[in-house]
Structure 1
Amino acid sequence: MEIDKLRSEYESAGQGQVFRFWEKLDEAQKESLAAQLAEVDLGEIQRLVDTLVKGQGESETDFESLQPAPYVPLPSEGGDAARWAEARKVGEEALRAGRVAAFTVAGGQGTRLGYEGPKGTFPVTPVREATLFQVFAEKILCASETYGVSIPWFIMTSRINHEATVSFFQENQFFGLKEEDVIFFSQGMMPAVDFDGKLILESPDSLALSPDGHGGSLRALVRSGATATMKERGIDIISYFQVDNPLVQAIDPTFVGFHVLEGSEMSSKMIPKAYAGEKVGHFTILDEKLTVIEYSDLPEELAEQKDEEGRLRFRAGSIAIHIISRDFVERMGDGEGGLPMHRANKKIGVAQENGETVKPDEPNGVKFEMFVFDALPEAKSPVVIETARDEDFSPVKNAEGLDSPETCRRDLLRQYVRWLKDVGVDVPADENGVPDRTFEVTPLRGFDRESFVENSKNQGLSVPSEGEVL
């Protein structure tokens, strides 16, 4: 019997406790638990326990040698306008050639927003209440029509939201995209361990599992066959972004162009930090390699350091927007040579002897996750370009306050005002650029500022009325 072999392997690895409820499970429960156990790489778990749980843990950063990373400034901030124009031209050529795919990391739920369901199904726009997924779909559709090519969209879900996500797209006819151009796959799951390195049962028939982090997207692309599909379709450039940011330029020709011109394997966007304590990672140079240091890890004295112009010295903030070469994903996502795992001490539900799950008040175990930016030090010729915060970054993370639906809708309205002004339509707005009325400009009119201006020529647009959708 196959289960005997599985049980023997776990007992030999010192993890036989996962079978402690086995005799009490019905056949369906046994099948479910066995399937989970069969997917676990016991060798990987043992290495992680030895290094991150029982060992020295993650290596200390040498902050003495840490330097700010260079980046390509926007033309408005002193950058070379001709170079930016050339990058857009090169990026548009890559798009017309069908070399580019969009890729969204969308494994989360809307729990922090007080919303039941996949985060991508959360409504964000001010009038239509279009969801995050709809906003991205319309941007991709508009770019596809602009460049006369089908731009495929790869969406990474998780075990907790895969079925609901796929159903949502089916119910909405894929928002006008071709069904074969929207490819779903689930990210990997990692089992949690207690502080002794023992795998935790969350319920009698289930391990305590959690997604393996946004860095797991690289190996999920490979393991799911997504990169093989890309190769068949002639795609070698991947536009990576996360599901919580409706302002993101999902398809950015200029960004693609810089990636191509620099011969980069992984390129990134930065925004200047608004203040020293802003919760975004920092692009830095460590051991002569481009490295992202998380906001929580950079010492306060470095975070507050100023340069000779009075600006933050470590000001290049990471906003999880990347262009990644397919070949690089295949290299980083295949086998043991991939991204490092990090530990996170968490409160993890544990199955009690009576079978009930109890979640503790204090952290009782370790979850393992990967960060996609950890690929940067391994990338050839990585490039960082500046982007405008108000054109590319307004995430929806919290139910209220900073990075909330309210702030995001305000930022969308401000963007509409700027874009309309570019085509000669002046919408009354306050000193912060917020209009005196609520209206909406759909991404179908333009996937970015330049395409909106181009598509709006000779359209006879006028100042929108309250509640109007353009």
Structure 2
Amino acid sequence: MSQDRLTKQKEALCATCTSMMDIKVALDKYEQTHLLSFYGHLSIEERKSLLDQLASIDFKEAREMFQEALEVMEQQESLTGKTIEPVPISEFGSALTCGEAKIQEYWNAGLHAIGEGKVAALVLCGGQGTRLGLDIPKGMISVNLPSGKTIMQIHIERIKRLQELSGKLLGKQVVLPLYVLTSEATHDQIRVFLEENEYFELQKEDIVLFKQGMNPCFTFEGKIILSEKNVVAMAPDGTGGLYKAMAKNGIFADMEKRGVRYIYVFPIDNIMAKVADPIFVGYCMETNSDCAAKVIKKHKAKQNVGNICKVDGDYSVVEYSEISDELATQTDDQGELRFHSGSICIHMFTLDFMKQMAEVKLKPHVAKKKVPFVDEEGVKRKPTKPNAVKVERFVFEAFKFSRGFVTWEVGYDEFSPIKNPNSVKYECPLTARTDLLSMHKSYVEKLGGVLEHAEAEVSPLLSYAGENLGDRVKGVVFPPFSSTHIQSEEEYDKNQVDLSYQSFSQLFNIKPTMILDG
């Protein structure tokens, strides 16, 4: 062994000994000494890895978290005996009924706020595509659009279009920053993906990545689980950990430096999400809301979406599986569902409100899961039934602390999540593709284009919500069975070399791609 390597190992050993003293005290105090059971059998590198992980855990907080979880499990919380009410009309606005004049007013107000640097977008991007049979983050998924774009690219291009629209309105360069909440599982892949794609031509400093927190997994007796001899079993702390993660990673400070006041939060897997929607921004500004949620009108009583409502006077989300049939099917005098506000997990917060929530202990949600573990003999075991408690918190648990909570109803053209593989035929990549192209078809046909037995994708760089198409599609008859990507001039100039794809695809009997330029 070289002298340099011996020196490095000695230095690591010294650091390990120093850390060991502090960690041993914490483990003794909180009855978790079993986490060092195999310490003597580990290599120097493995010891350091284990101690680094133990040093990152707040064991006092972990004990309190488990005690909270016990209380939740013991109570077996249900809605029985609680007063559940729909969202009052005073806190309910709708893009479907408020009228074109009001929509335009909100749109202009929102674009002004974006142009003044008061708005940021924040995407929840911690999920892997495991349920879809993929080992990549959901944001990197392509749903086989004519353009081949990934979900992340589509969202970022919507931001670029908003910057352009706001810049034209105010006559200046505009920056709309994007904050990306990742997880241990997705962070590095997303970072590399963005780097390799040059941040899809946004400035690197305007896309800020930060990780959500992790919680240890517990046995039913409160012991933290080892998944390997030198690895603690950990699980993401849920969307409700967003607020603390923002504080811990300097996101609040970065936003304050930029002058951000409003944060639009959305999930990466909703391909239809109108990122930093100016109309929603304008509505929240007018209502002076510190916390708001977009909703859709449920089309059936037990639809697979959470219900935004009041529970004992506090705003919350009641999952579709928790609400009783009696409540879910209640109707008003017009025969409409009383509990009609379905959550699509898109929210608007003020910066001040999010900072407050970072200091609040939100209600925990507990799940009993099967977590692989190392037994007392050091043998890796894979349980056949739940053996562990995972604790997480949800972003909507902050609603109850709002002093100006409102909802904003939108159409289904803003909601097409990707939760399942295509084999399920529901909330999957195939339905997301179909829904997006259906919306784009409506844009084209509204302007007189003809898409009979054909499909067209409208680039977000060209149009955010159907605007700016004009003469581009008016009167155009798209060839039957064609698959068209309607690009911005910027894209067309960049992608001209790809025009050969049309003849190539025809040669191999593949649906051709027709590119309409400016």
TM range (shorter): over 0.9
Describe the shift of the 1:58–1:326 C-alpha distance in structure 2 as closer, same or farther (beyond 3 A): farther
Correspondence 1:118 to 2:137: yes
1:392: which partner in 2?
414
Residue 222 of structure 1 contacts residue 329 of structure 1 at CA under 8 Å; is this kept in 2? no
Residue 53 of structure 1 contacts residue 197 of structure 1 at CA under 8 Å; is this kept in 2? no
Q: State the Cα deviation string for residues 330-359 of structure 1 (Å, max 9, x = none).
A: 11013xx23222111111111134544322
Q: State the Cα deviation string for residues 39-90 of structure 1 (Å, max 9, x = none).
A: 11212221122232267457554655211113535354x4354433332222
Correspondence 1:362 to 2:405: no
1:69: which partner in 2?
87
Residue 447 of structure 2 contacts residue 473 of structure 2 at CA under 8 Å; is this kept in 1? no
Residue 69 of structure 2 contacts residue 391 of structure 2 at CA under 8 Å; is this kept in 1? no
Residue 19 of structure 2 contacts residue 51 of structure 2 at CA under 8 Å; is this kept in 1? no
1:153, CA displacement in angstroms?
A: 0.5
Which piece of structure 1 moves more, 369-378 or 296-305?
A: 296-305
Larger relative contact order (Cα-Cα within 8 Å, sequence gap ≥ 6)? 1
Which whole-Å CA distance do the structure 2 matches of 1:57 and 1:51 have between them?
11
1:102, CA displacement in angstroms?
A: 0.8
Which whole-Å CA distance do the structure 1 matches of 2:131 and 2:105 have between them?
41
Correspondence 1:347 to 2:360: no
Which runs of structure 2 are paired with 1:118-267 in the superposition (5 Å)? 118-148=137-167, 149-267=174-292
1:431: which partner in 2?
none
> Structure 1 regions of 5+ residues with no counterpart?
429-435
TM-score between the two structures when normalised by the length of structure 2 = 0.84
Correspondence 1:21 to 2:42: no
Which whole-Å CA distance do the structure 1 matches of 2:363 and 2:204 have between them?
35
Q: 2:339 aligns with which of 306, 314, 317?
A: 314
Correspondence 1:468 to 2:491: no
Residue 83 of structure 2 contacts residue 313 of structure 2 at CA under 8 Å; is this kept in 1? no
1:364, CA displacement in angstroms?
A: 0.7
How many pairs were matched up?
A: 455
Which whole-Å CA distance do the structure 1 matches of 2:305 and 2:366 have between them?
19
Which whole-Å CA distance do the structure 1 matches of 2:350 and 2:30 have between them?
38
2:298: which partner in 1?
273
1:300, CA displacement in angstroms?
A: 2.3
Q: State the Cα deviation string for residues 92-127 of structure 1 (Å, max 9, x = none).
A: 221111111110010111100111111110112521
Residue 72 of structure 1 contacts residue 79 of structure 1 at CA under 8 Å; is this kept in 2? no
Describe the shift of the 1:57–1:32 C-alpha distance in structure 2 as closer, same or farther (beyond 3 A): farther
Describe the shift of the 1:292–1:26 C-alpha distance in structure 2 as closer, same or farther (beyond 3 A): same
Residue 219 of structure 1 contacts residue 329 of structure 1 at CA under 8 Å; is this kept in 2? no
- Aligned with 1:104: secondary structure? strand
Which whole-Å CA distance do the structure 1 matches of 2:350 and 2:81 have between them?
30
Residue 266 of structure 1 contacts residue 382 of structure 1 at CA under 8 Å; is this kept in 2? yes
Deviating 4+ runs (over 6 angstroms): none
Which whole-Å CA distance do the structure 1 matches of 2:409 and 2:162 have between them?
22
1:427: which partner in 2?
451
Residue 264 of structure 2 contacts residue 275 of structure 2 at CA under 8 Å; is this kept in 1? yes
2:111: which partner in 1?
92
Structure 2 counterpart of 1:177, one-letter code: L
TM-score between the two structures when normalised by the length of structure 1 = 0.93
- Aligned with 1:160: secondary structure? coil
Residue 105 of structure 1 contacts residue 155 of structure 1 at CA under 8 Å; is this kept in 2? yes
Which piece of structure 1 moves more, 79-88 or 194-203?
A: 79-88
Structure 2 counterpart of 1:250, one-letter code: V
1:289, CA displacement in angstroms?
A: 2.7
Which whole-Å CA distance do the structure 1 matches of 2:129 and 2:247 have between them?
27
Describe the shift of the 1:58–1:32 C-alpha distance in structure 2 as closer, same or farther (beyond 3 A): farther
Which whole-Å CA distance do the structure 1 matches of 2:68 and 2:384 have between them?
26
1:128, CA displacement in angstroms?
A: 2.1
- Aligned with 1:319: secondary structure? strand
Q: State the Cα deviation string for residues 271-322 of structure 1 (Å, max 9, x = none).
A: 0112222221111122333221122221222122222222222111001000
Which whole-Å CA distance do the structure 2 matches of 1:123 and 1:243 have between them?
12
RMSD of aligned residue pairs (Cα, Å): 1.8
Q: 1:289 aligns with which of 314, 320, 328?
A: 314
Q: 1:457 aligns with which of 451, 470, 488?
A: 470
Structure of greater Rg: 2
1:324: which partner in 2?
349
Residue 181 of structure 2 contacts residue 212 of structure 2 at CA under 8 Å; is this kept in 1? yes
- Aligned with 1:2: secondary structure? helix
1:432: which partner in 2?
none
Structure 2 counterpart of 1:392, one-letter code: E
Structure 2 counterpart of 1:12, one-letter code: K
Which whole-Å CA distance do the structure 2 matches of 1:75 and 1:4 have between them?
60
Which whole-Å CA distance do the structure 1 matches of 2:247 and 2:197 have between them?
28
Residue 126 of structure 1 contacts residue 438 of structure 1 at CA under 8 Å; is this kept in 2? no
Which whole-Å CA distance do the structure 1 matches of 2:238 and 2:95 have between them?
35
Which whole-Å CA distance do the structure 2 matches of 1:357 and 1:260 have between them?
54
Which whole-Å CA distance do the structure 1 matches of 2:440 and 2:99 have between them?
27
1:27, CA displacement in angstroms?
A: 1.4
Q: 1:404 aligns with which of 428, 442, 445?
A: 428
> Structure 2 regions of 5+ residues with no counterpart?
1-17, 168-173, 487-518
1:467, CA displacement in angstroms?
A: 2.3
Which whole-Å CA distance do the structure 1 matches of 2:69 and 2:188 have between them?
33
